[in-house]
Amino acid sequence: MHSSPTTAPTSVGAKKLTWFDDLLLLGIMAVLAGCGLIYEYLLSHYAGRVLGALEAAIYTMIGLMIVSMGIGAFAARKIRCAYTGFAILELSVALCGALAILITAAVIGFGQQLPMLIANTIGLPPDQLPQGGFIGSLQKLSEYLPYFWGVLLGLMIGMEIPLIARVRQSLCEAHLLHNAGTIYGADYIGAGVGAAIWVTLMLAIDIQLAAALTASFNLLAGFIFIWRFWDNIAHAKLLLAGHIIASGLLVLLASHGPQWEQQFNNLLYKDKVIYAKATRFQQLTFTERLRGNNLPAVYSLYINGRLQFSSQDEHIYHAFLVHPTLEASARHDKVLIIGGGDGLGLRQVLKWQPQQVTLMDLDADLVALFKNPDDTMPTRLRHALLKLNDDALNDKRVELVFDDAFNGADKLIRRGDKFDAIIVDLPDPSHPDLNKLYSDMFYLKLKELLSADGAITVQSTSPYHAPKAFISVGKTLASAGFNMQQYHHNVPSFGEWGWSIATLAGKAPRERLQPLTQLSIAEDWLTPGLIKGAFEFPGNYYQYADEVKVNDIGSMQLYQYHQQAWSENENLTLF
């Protein structure tokens, strides 16, 4: 008769630790370490992609989970039976890991819809939606849900190593001299494999599907453990039934979970979400707003929860981005666009009849959506996107380069390229990796690529909402040796927006544009008067400019300015 599973683990000392059991336990530990690392990435990735959270969420999540794992390792001492405890633990981890993102999406979506539900119920007008109080607290607390799941999963993951170590020790007649070292070795190797799986596989699939797949390995570990150590586990039949039920739930979550999660995420947007796609680098969401009186529908693109453009007014942004640059350039034969994978800025550039345009963007999947929209996209959206960019990405004069702009600029330099104009249309520096693309070193690279009589323009965030960030972009351009000036205009979807324009030699940009009485190309919206007026700022706007620092490479200065300015309005563009 085997010993009771409720006794101390060392009571099973009559059974030797066979090579098969040892290999099985170490293999289980390695698999679970990989799963634990993937859960960290999944939760922080969700916060960054869908909630539009600060990039610091990634580091906060990892830090919280590591601390929680330490606490969990201490708490594992309170579990009397390591065999039973481990079987229960893997069932719990699998359920929490698979459901965390879906439940978070549901709670956040409900919190955003609650004001409208209350207003519709009691007949409040749209401009008097209830805010603050309980509703405001619910919305704010829901943003911390990923961290709650991170702490909970961290506590449970932290228990895995001590329990496996106790099981391994209980199967050995003598003390295992290198028990801890062997277990940790398997754990570290498994975590490394998990990181590789995340980078090569998980980033390319839906985040809810990735969660379900990861949880399935926890369940598989639980099944194998129950099978092998059946006699040592209390209530083994009940736990086996729980694993079987959980397996059915995981199949359901893998097949329907991504759709459910997306429907919950769609509640975050005021307009109807008609298409969403997760690329290797970002979450893309397209919304549609239908209008009466035979007016065209309004289509908007959000990347990681932040508005990128609205078809209603994108022409304002892109006209100001492109036309002052090319008017200030001596020639327009060869143009470089960095970013702008939607082709909307490219559409404006092609009006100048350049001989060649090089467009460099990191995300090939995003460019593909605007170049050759796939069949899964609604037909009306496919037609709208190609009409918006005038099918510019399929123009034979366009060279597409898919690379990180910081490294891609080096490749263009090695190629010996020189451009008559450079247009930098990158996302705001809301991510540490983007900060380097607004640094003095990056602008020195662009300086090598720009012809001496050419001009460069950089989108520079909002001069109203983020004045220090806006001024810092301009000062950083100037520090790289450019003759820089700034201009701004209102883009209704974004509010007041700004750009920095610069030249290398000869007259400053504003001086080059001053004699302009008529644009060199056919343009039915932008006028010379609007361009000249855009260079005017309030008299005291730059009074504290001396206190704003240049964004030296590695300083993260611009990232900090941007985060400080927008932290109170992190989800401003979502609704």
Residues in the chain with pLDDT values less than 50: 1-14, 570-575
Single out the residue of 398, 457, 446, 396 nearest to residue 418, CA to CA.
446
**Distance of alpha carbon 38 from alpha carbon 30, whole angstroms:** 13
Q: What share of the chain is helix, strand, coil (3-state, %, to 5)?
A: 60, 15, 30
With residue 317 as reference, give the H or E element that holds it. helix 314-327
SS3 198: helix
**Distance of alpha carbon 169 from alpha carbon 177, whole angstroms:** 10
- The pLDDT value recorded for residue 257 is 87
- The pLDDT value recorded for residue 6 is 39
SS3 261: helix
Looking at the whole model, is its pTM more than 0.85? Answer: no
Which residues have CB under 8 Å from 539's CB, separation 6+? none
Single out the residue of 386, 354, 353 nearest to residue 368, CA to CA.
386
SS3 121: helix
**Distance of alpha carbon 22 from alpha carbon 176, whole angstroms:** 12
- The pLDDT value recorded for residue 107 is 85
Tokens encoding 277: 């796609």
Q: Burial of 295 by CB count in 10 Å (0-12 exposed, 13-18 middle, 19+ buried)?
A: exposed
Catalytic residues, which ones?
Answer: 425
- The pLDDT value recorded for residue 59 is 77
**Distance of alpha carbon 208 from alpha carbon 257, whole angstroms:** 6
CB 484 within 8 A of CB 500: yes
- The pLDDT value recorded for residue 570 is 47
SS3 per-residue string spanning 557-571: HHHHHHHHHHHHHCC
* Terminal-residue alpha carbon distance, the chain: 65
Helices 19-49, 145-170: axis angle to 10 degrees equals 170
Sheet-wide strand order for 495-503: 398-402, 356-361, 334-339, 419-425, 450-459, 495-503, 483-491
- The pLDDT value recorded for residue 11 is 40
Tokens encoding 557: 């200065």
Range 441-448, long-range pairs (CB < 8 A, 24+ positions):
441/553, 442/405, 442/406, 442/409, 442/553, 443/476, 443/477, 443/479, 443/480, 443/482, 444/480, 444/481, 445/406, 445/409, 445/410, 445/413, 446/409, 446/422, 446/480, 447/480, 447/481, 447/482, 447/504, 448/413
User: 210-242: per-residue pLDDT in tens?
Assistant: 999 999 999 999 999 999 999 999 999 999 999
What are the backbone angles phi and psi of residue 278, rounded to the nearest 5°? Answer: -100, 120
With residue 329 as reference, give the H or E element that holds it. none
Q: Which residue has the tokens 């969660």?
A: 211
Alpha-helix residue ranges (DSSP H) falling in 171-309: 179-200, 207-228, 236-266
Q: Which residue has the tokens 């100048």?
A: 352
